Structure 1
Amino acid sequence: MRFISERTSIPVPRVICAFTHCQKTYILMERIKGDMIGVGWVRRDEESKAKLLSKLKSMIQEMREIPAPEGTKIASADGGSMFDCRLPGTSFKMLRFGPFNGIQDFHRHLRSGIEFDPTCTFDPEIQEFITQHGKSWPLKFTHGDLSSLNILIRGDDIVGIIDWETSGWYPSYWEYTTAYQVNPQNSFWVNEIDKFLLPMPEELAMERTRQKYFGVI
């Protein structure tokens, strides 16, 4: 949150302090007064929806224009490991992963180390998926969970974007594909994603293949 507040105009909670006590880490932060964007969304008129989504789009574009660090390291804001409970893991501790020296190392992790092998009888869908994974994408700073639950509004203004624990430097498609991993509380949100993020249908199909064969929690 400090990283974002120092580099953008995106509204995030002000961090007052952070500390570790009894092996648990705590953050004391400002409380932002607002409602989740999904509250009453289906009853909101189209003009109001368009205003909010336009403002959200501008904020995300500003974030994605933060210059990437030198190299192609996939990492958190401070260059360390990342966290995402939607990726496979056998314990809470193992839900941390990385950092990775490049996109291909990251992709290898996502597919459990499996490489393309013409002598193996992989399903053709898996073979195509591994080939797609071999492509290159620019690094962009990514929130990683642009759910309607994490966007706070008052009226037609966005007053906060919260829950940055999944953020970091990722391939440019990661923001789009993770936004599509909505939960039952905000299933309507899939109809709005293309209005504030650049549609990347090929990458979305690629990521759905990964989820199909390599699983999510």
Structure 2
Amino acid sequence: MTLQELTHIASQLQTILAEMQRPRSKTLGSITGKRYDNCFFPPHVLPSHAFSSYSEFIDMYRYILLHFCTEKFTEDLLSKLPRHAPIRFAHADLLPRNIMVDGTTITAVIDWATAGFWPGYWEYCRMHNPEWASPGWDRVLGLVFPEERRSEEIKAACYLNRIVMDYFWV
């Protein structure tokens, strides 16, 4: 795709992301207000309710990590994430495979299974997951998020996801 075509897609994606910021919640969990029900957290380690705060969300990751990681490793990894994060609605899997495009028009966003209320950085980090990098996608992300890439934050969030997927969904 040309730079002009990618710019048009990026503009549409910015609008979609802005609209997704409108729903509000005081808890982190599914869109229904209940706990997450998706692949990012296995049901047997989740509390029976939505997370009441960002610190409770981070404490759950700490609890998971400390089962098989040292305390130093756990704290170093978690320190790469923001200490405070607003709660935002996110698709949580907004990657090229879930964005339907006809020419240069986004016609649909599919696979809302992971959607819910997440820390404000979650969508950003998921979208920047290096597993999905490609010249076109990286160009779109650079247009949607023109500020300097938050590489350490991205790596930490992606690593947390990978740990949960690898160790709890075997």
Question: What TM-score range do you get, normalising by the shorter chain?
Answer: 0.7 to 0.9
Matched, 1:207 2:161: no
Cα offset, 1:133, TM superposition: 5.2
Per the alignment, residue 63 of structure 1 pairs with 20
1:108–1:114 contact (8 Å) kept in structure 2: no
Match of 2:30 among 60, 76, 96: 76
Counterparts in 2 of 1:128 and 1:53: CA distance versus 1, 3 Å: same
Counterparts in 2 of 1:83 and 1:149: CA distance versus 1, 3 Å: same
What letter matches 2:141 in structure 1? I
Identity %: 20
* Structure 2 CA distance for aligned equivalents of residues 95 and 149 of structure 1: 28
Q: Which has the higher helix share?
A: 2
| 1:178-198 Cα distance to aligned partner (Å, 9 max, x none) | 223465xx5416524343246
Match of 1:106 among 35, 57, 73: 57
Q: TM-score, normalised by structure 1?
A: 0.60
Cα offset, 1:158, TM superposition: 0.9
What letter matches 2:88 in structure 1? K
Q: Which has the higher strand share?
A: 1
Match of 2:124 among 173, 176, 188: 176
Cα offset, 1:208, TM superposition: 4.4
2:81–2:157 contact (8 Å) kept in structure 1: no
What letter matches 2:13 in structure 1? L
Counterparts in 2 of 1:174 and 1:52: CA distance versus 1, 3 Å: same
CA RMSD of aligned residues (A): 3.1
Please, which runs of 5 or more residues in structure 1 have no aligned partner? 1-43, 116-121
Per the alignment, residue 108 of structure 2 pairs with 160
* Structure 1 CA distance for aligned equivalents of residues 56 and 44 of structure 2: 17
| 1:191-211 Cα distance to aligned partner (Å, 9 max, x none) | 243432464334213324535
Matched, 1:151 2:99: yes
Please, which runs of 5 or more residues in structure 2 have no aligned partner? none
2:88–2:120 contact (8 Å) kept in structure 1: yes
Cα offset, 1:136, TM superposition: 0.7
Per the alignment, residue 13 of structure 1 pairs with none
Higher RCO (C-alpha under 8 Å, 6+ residues apart): 2
| 1:106-126 Cα distance to aligned partner (Å, 9 max, x none) | 1122233568xxxxxx46443
Counterparts in 2 of 1:105 and 1:96: CA distance versus 1, 3 Å: closer
Aligned residues: 159
1:107–1:133 contact (8 Å) kept in structure 2: no
